[in-house]
Amino acid sequence: MAVQQSQFDEGVMWFMTGLDTEKAHEVEEDSAVNVAFANEGDNRFVSISGRCRLVQDIPKQKELWTSFARAWFDGPEDSNLVLMRVEIDGAEYWDGPKSKMVMMVGWLKSKVTGGGIDMGDNATIEPRATLK
The CATH number linked to 35 is 2.30.110.10
The runs of H, that is alpha helices, within the chain are: 22-29, 58-64, 100-113, 127-131
**Range(s) of the domain holding residue 112:** 12-131
In percent, the amount of the chain with pLDDT more than 70 equals: 77
Strand pairing class (12-18; 32-39): unpaired
Tens of pLDDT, residue by residue over 12-22, are 999 999 999 99
Higher confidence at residue 117 or residue 131? 117
By C-alpha distance, which of 63, 81, 110 is closest to 18? 81
Mean pLDDT, residues 84-94 = 92
Residue 98's pLDDT is 63
- Alpha carbon separation from 94 to 47, 74, 123 (Å, rounded): 9, 38, 7
Number of domains in the chain: 1
